[in-house]
Structure 1
Amino acid sequence: MRVFGRGALLGLVLALAALAPGAAGAATQEAEGLWMREDGASKIQLAPCGGALCGVIVWLRNPNSKAHVGQKVFFDMTRADQNSWTGQAFNPDDGKTYSGKMVVSGKKLRTSGCVFGGLICKTMYWVRAN
């Protein structure tokens, strides 16, 4: 007994494939906006600067920290793929600049500053604040 014709079966298969997770590729994620560090210690604003993205501290819970409002902590961040950027990350705690990476996943942002070609990295997590 035939329930579907050949054309109807093909249409059903294509419709189910389109609904499958990742079938059409991952959606492009945007990093621009206001982000709060997961521990609530600071907020950064990621915005275009030149042909890249930059991140500036816009709020600090502890105004006596080594960091200060207005300080650029991410710069020259260029898109590496649909949800990640690479560039430079500045760490106010030690005053050094590292190779940086940002990865956006929904309302979460993971930032890393690395040395030795990525062998040693410090990672921070952020949540979208806007």
Structure 2
Amino acid sequence: MTPFVTRILIAGLAGIVMAATIPLPGNAQTTNAVTGIWLTEKGDARIRITTCGAGICGKVIGLREPIDPDTGKPATDNKNPNPALAQRPVVGLNLFNDMRATGPTSWAGRIYNADDGQFYASKVMLQGPARLRVEGCVGALCGGETWSKVGN
């Protein structure tokens, strides 16, 4: 597992997307502002955010270290308690699906934690056209980081 998967998914990510200059939810400009490719704070992974239904989705599209050093093969979702899912690659994993708008530029939903194979409540907020704050809590433990937009 990469440091990205450990750091971000253990905390049960939450994404919060917010900026004063971005239009209200439901507006195509709001959705377009958050869609695209985002680089995690430490540059460990690239996440593509797209629209899905009335919300947004996020999928891992690249890792800085895509090969597991222990196996010499692509990193897998090996902490998933379901044996059928434990062999799927991390690249291609949906971290969050169908997060719903909760404010002008914020969404909430559930996020997947590949470090334990579980889903957690989460939020995301846009802090500007190229900054995405991703935060989450598991019990009393909360954390987050800021992602940078790198493309569409």
- Using the size of structure 2 for normalisation, the TM-score is 0.62
Give distance in 1, aligned partners of 2:98 and 2:136.
Answer: 13
Say if 2:62 is the partner of 1:41: no
- The residue that corresponds to 2:132 in the other structure is 109
Q: Work out which of the two has the higher radius of gyration on C-alpha atoms and give 1 or 2.
A: 1
Displacement of 1:124 in angstroms is: 2.6
Is 2:85 the counterpart of 1:85? no
**Is 2:49 the partner of 1:26?**
no
Superposed CA offset, 1:49-86 (max 9, x none): 12211100000011124551110001221111122111
> Does 2:147 match 1:126?
yes
Higher relative contact order (CA 8 A, sep 6+): 2
Please, what is the CA RMSD of the aligned residues? 1.9
Give distance in 2, aligned partners of 1:26 and 1:103: 11
Deviation at 1:125, TM superposition (A): 2.0
Aligned-pair identity (%): 34
Q: Which amino acid aligns with 1:115?
A: V
> Which AA in structure 1 matches 2:59?
V
**Which blocks of at least 5 consecutive residues in structure 2 are unaligned?**
1-18, 23-29, 69-74, 78-89
Bigger proportion of residues as strand: 1
Q: In 2 relative to 1, CA 94–66 (structure 1 residues): closer, same or farther, beyond 3 Å?
A: farther
- Once the two structures are TM-superposed, the CA of residue 47 in structure 1 deviates from its matched residue by 0.3
Confirm whether residue 73 of structure 1 aligns to residue 76 of structure 2: no
Distance in 2 of aligned mates of 1:46 and 1:87 = 14
Runs of 4+ in 1 over 4 A off after TM superposition: none
- The SS at the match of 2:21 is coil
Q: Output the TM-score relative to the length of structure 1.
A: 0.71
3-state SS, counterpart of residue 129 of structure 1: strand
The change in CA–CA distance for 1:126 and 1:66 in structure 2 (over 3 A counts) is farther
